[in-house]
Structures are given as C-alpha cells and as structure tokens.
Structure 1
Amino acid sequence: MKLAFIGLGVMGFPMAGHLQKAGHEVCVYNRNSQKAADWEARFGGSCGATPAEAAQNADMVMVCVGNDDDVRAVMYGEDGVLAGVKAGTLLIDHTTTSARLAEELSERAGKQGSRFIDAPVSGGQLGAENGALTIMIGGAEEDVAEAAPVLAAYGKKVTRLGPVGAGQRCKMVNQICVIGAVQGIAEGLMIAQKADLDIPTLIEVLAGGAAQSWQLENRAQTMADDSFDFGFAAQWMYKDLGICLDEAAQQGVKLPLTEHVHEVYERLLEQGMGRCDSTVVIRDLKS
C-alpha cells in the first residue's frame, strides 16, 4: 500500500520503518527534515517537504507527534495532511491526545471524504523498535478492520474499543493504571531501602505474587538505583495525566491519585527532570 507517516520521534521512526520493511511504499514527514533524511537513508521509501506532500496519494496516513496542538499543526492548514489527502484516505492518529480532538478530527476528515480512527499506543520506545506495541483503537468497525493488517507491522495487539475517541479513553485508563503502579513501587522502595532489604531478591519475590507488574519487573531496580536517563519521559506522562484529568472533569468524576501524581510531575518538571524516565517520581519522596 501507499502509506504516509507523519512524525519521526523515538516511536515514529521505528514504526515507519516497520511499515517500509513490511513491503509498503512509505513517504514520511518530520518537522526536522534531517531526521526524515536519516530515516530515508536507513529504510528507503521517500520523504515529503510538508505533511500535505507526504500524504498525497496515500491510502493511509499515520500520525505520531507530541500533543493536541502538534496534531492540529500537521493536520490543518494549506500544508497539512487534510490539504493533501485524496478522498477515501484512512487517517490514523497514534498520538496520545484528548478524546475531543479525535472526535474533532473525525468530523473534519468526514467533511472532505476521508476517514479517521484514533489509535494511541502503549509499549514505549522498546515496543516500537521491536514491533510489539499494543494499539488501542476508536473508530468504525470497517475502518479498523482495514487498518489492522497494516498496523500489525508494529502492533502485537491491535484492538478496537468502540467508536472514535474510545482508543484515547482506553489510553487514559492505561496511563492511570501505570502511574498507580509506579507510585506504589516508589513508596514500597522507600521502606525496602530504609530496611536495607536486598532489592533484586525483593523484586523476585514480589514478582511471584499479587504485586507482579511490568513496572515492578522492569523499573523497580532502576528506581532503586536512581537511574532515569531512558524510557518514557516525565514531561509526556505529565501531559498524559493532564488529559486524563480533563476527561474526568468532563465526566464529573474524581481521580485523587492521578491528581496527586500529576502535581508530583509538575514539581519534578520545575526542577528540570522533564526528560527523565517517568519513574522519577521516587525522587519526590526523597526530597
């Protein structure tokens, strides 16, 4: 298929590469043109000077950028994706955004004869590089069925949750669960380290019981080691939790743990830790 991929960050770069390696004809766009040139040199394919140029004649357009404003910047305007796509093109947004934006984009795409699904991902940079992401989708059943075989190039699990917006709301639940586990591990490690417990042994024991989680097995040791120069950045988790809290306000529900951890990240960002792995919350407990 002819595909366009907009956004070549730590996730998008390998995701677009998997599509090209799967045999598709991929045209990429990145606001840093050197990154697009590097991708083309590594994987083949081609690159466009604007999102509109990259999207011309594409059967599907994937977007993976930073936030709601970034998505609007590449989708709208005379150089945006919507200005370049042909009728019938399927637009797939992998960015973690508000559900309201997903619904807005679906409406805008529909008015000009295109289609849209929201498809945020989980699995981080490693999952993107290994082609093992979990993809949570909101959209029409027929559109998701069309996209699923293509998304399988980098998605180990591709699941429709409901209509447009459902994918983003599922990602919100994902992030809330993740930070709940991370905050719990951080607090547990405070006791473990004060009591001089052997951390590797502790993790092995806990991983065999009800406390088992991906965060425990993959991040507890690095948290204990005060190592955070990798992984999903704290600034992005802060952004994601803000989206969760906005959604909660719209639904009239309270999320006290999410509010607390969002405030923790705000303090950490003010201290210059925005690029640290999101498990850096443990430092707030030590301050």
Structure 2
Amino acid sequence: MAKVGFIGLGVMGAPMAKHLRAKGHELTVYNRTIAKAEKWAAENGGRVAKTPREAADGQEFVLACVGNDDDLRQVTIGPDGAFAGLRKGTIFVDHTTASAEVARELHEAAGKKGAAFIDAPVSGGQAGAENGVLTIMCGGDADAYAKAEPVIMSFARACRLMGPAGSGQLTKMINQICIAGVVQGLSEGIHFGQQAGLDIEAVLDVISKGAAGSWQMENRGRTMNQGKFDFGFAVDWMRKDLAICLAEARKNGASLPVTALVDQFYADVQAKGGRRWDTSSLISRLGK
C-alpha cells in the first residue's frame, strides 16, 4: 500500500479518496475548505493537511481533483503549493479536467524537482466516482504511469496511457466533444417524438437496442422525457469543458462547428436558470 496525498474533496474527489482508503492506502487529504476535509477524515480515516504542500510532503503519490487551470496552479505552484512538498520520485496525478497547456507546464515543473506529473482526467461523472468505475485517460511518462496505474485503479474500471504530457487532457476533450453532439441529437430525437405523439418510453426501449443506442440514451433518455435534470454532470461544468475544447481547436486548427453550436445552446440553458442542471437539460431549450 502507498502513502498518498489527495487534494480536492468535491463531488468527484471525495468518493475517489474514499476508494483509496478502502483499498488500504495511507491517506493525507487537503481541501480548500478545511472543515470539509476534517469531516471527510472523521468519516473515512486519514490525516488532514492544512496546505497542499503539507498534503504532498513525504508522499509517494499525490492526487488532485480541482476545478480548472487556475485552481490547479493554485494548489501546485508557490510556497504553499503541493510542488513545494514533492520529494524526488514522487508521482503527481492530476484528475482535473483542464487544458493540455497546463498539463505540459506542470509536467515540466515537476520534472525539475525530480518528480513526475501525469494528467489523468476522468469520465463517468459523480456516479462513476462513487461506484469506483471511472474511465481515466492519461498523459505522461510511461515509467511513472506504470507505477501510478495500480493506485489509480482503486477507483477506475479502465485506465490507459494515451501519450506524452497533455495527451490525457486532449483525449478528455474528444470525450466531451462526442458527448455534446450525442446529447443534442438525443434531445432533438425525443422532442421530435413528443411532437409526433409517440410513446417515448417505448421508442427509447426499441432504438436503444440498435445503432442509435448510447450511454446517454440508456441513462438519461427517460429522465429527459420526464423533464428531470437534478442529477449528474452540471451545465456549468460542461461549458467549462467545451471552452477548453474550443480553445484547443483554435490552436490546432480543428473545425468544431457542432461543438461550438451546442456550447451556445448550453448558454441558453444557463440563461434560463439551469446552471446546475444535468447536461441532459439541453432538451429544455426545445420545449415538450
């Protein structure tokens, strides 16, 4: 079992850290709101750190799951940042969905300290984190990844090294691009069926067994038909992710017309008060 520091105990990080403890790893946790970290430790065991640096001090692995590029830099760089506490050989694994640029930046910074950095964004949402079945796409050096993979698999069902630093984040961008298009198509299909007076439950049951089937259809189709959006991955988070995708596309020359359009559709959902609704709320733009 490993000595692990975990930074960020939000809706994703808290259950991920819980799985690490359940697997027997020695855990030190840090959260920006210390009371949340103390509550987590009281329920799950482990030690509470007052700074990211303290959470990283003396650890074999440090894992992080925070909000965005700025949050990630805040917990890694500076005198109280985790990198100040890294020892030679420590492996820092970042599960934040962030830019490929910050992944490469932090990979270089960790390397200067004799440590390693792996960008490892996740897919599977809150339910995947709670059930320990996340899909994780990684970027970094192969030797560091090989050492980190058994720790990461504490809360994953699939984990793969996709290439050098930044490759995990680029793969996550593809994941979000694909989801955006699928959710819009599913929204339009359900809306069309509603307008045609069809039994949507029956429609979904049939077409989900064929070529139109998808995770979104199986897990969100019925609740979309019912107008229920109080769970899952929030619209605010999706817009953050799509902004990363579109920014990267401007750099590499990729054309993402559907992604850009769906991003604006999500802006419409935000404007009508759906910032914290699940991403399946895209159908709310179309009416029932």
Normalised to the residue count of structure 1, the TM-score between the two structures is 0.98
Partner of residue 171, structure 1: 172
Partner of residue 200, structure 1: 201
Q: Deviations over 1:34-75 (max 9, x none)?
A: 210111011101110111111110101001001111101111
Partner of residue 106, structure 1: 107
- Contact kept, 8 Å, 2:137 with 2:172, in 1: the verdict is yes
- Contact kept, 8 Å, 2:86 with 2:113, in 1: the verdict is no
Q: Deviations over 1:225-267 (max 9, x none)?
A: 1111110000000000000001111011210000001111122
Partner of residue 156, structure 2: 155
- Any residues of structure 2 matched to 1:215-230 within 5 Å, and which? 215-230=216-231
Partner of residue 19, structure 2: 18
Given residue 174 of structure 1, which amino acid in structure 2 is its aligned partner? N
Partner of residue 28, structure 2: 27
Given residue 105 of structure 2, which amino acid in structure 1 is its aligned partner? E
Distance across 2 between alignment mates of 1:221 and 1:166: 34
Given residue 166 of structure 1, which amino acid in structure 2 is its aligned partner? S
Distance across 1 between alignment mates of 2:108 and 2:210: 46
How far apart are residue 285 of structure 1 and its match? 2.1
Distance across 2 between alignment mates of 1:198 and 1:19: 44
How far apart are residue 209 of structure 1 and its match? 0.4
Distance across 1 between alignment mates of 2:257 and 2:286: 17
Distance across 1 between alignment mates of 2:272 and 2:88: 48
How far apart are residue 272 of structure 1 and its match? 2.4
How far apart are residue 268 of structure 1 and its match? 2.0
Distance across 2 between alignment mates of 1:149 and 1:24: 11
Distance across 2 between alignment mates of 1:272 and 1:113: 47
Distance across 1 between alignment mates of 2:27 and 2:273: 37
What fraction of aligned residue pairs are identical, expressed as a percent?
52
Partner of residue 42, structure 1: 43
Distance across 2 between alignment mates of 1:30 and 1:182: 33
The answer to whether structure 1 residue 252 and structure 2 residue 284 are counterparts is no
Distance across 2 between alignment mates of 1:52 and 1:45: 16
- Any residues of structure 2 matched to 1:1-287 within 5 Å, and which? 1-286=2-287
Q: Deviations over 1:194-252 (max 9, x none)?
A: 11211211111011100010000110111111111110000000000000001111011
Given residue 261 of structure 2, which amino acid in structure 1 is its aligned partner? H
Identify unmatched segments of 5+ residues in structure 1: none
How far apart are residue 79 of structure 1 and its match? 1.0
Aligned residues: 287
How far apart are residue 286 of structure 1 and its match? 2.6
Identify unmatched segments of 5+ residues in structure 2: none
Distance across 2 between alignment mates of 1:77 and 1:275: 32
Q: CA RMSD in A?
A: 1.0
SS in 2 for 1:26: strand
Q: Deviations over 1:171-214 (max 9, x none)?
A: 00001111111000000011111112112111110111000100
Given residue 286 of structure 2, which amino acid in structure 1 is its aligned partner? L
Given residue 265 of structure 2, which amino acid in structure 1 is its aligned partner? V
How far apart are residue 84 of structure 1 and its match? 1.4
How far apart are residue 284 of structure 1 and its match? 1.6
Given residue 147 of structure 1, which amino acid in structure 2 is its aligned partner? A
Distance across 2 between alignment mates of 1:175 and 1:214: 13
- Contact kept, 8 Å, 2:120 with 2:136, in 1: the verdict is yes
- Contact kept, 8 Å, 2:89 with 2:115, in 1: the verdict is yes
SS in 2 for 1:153: helix
How far apart are residue 165 of structure 1 and its match? 0.6
Distance across 1 between alignment mates of 2:266 and 2:71: 21
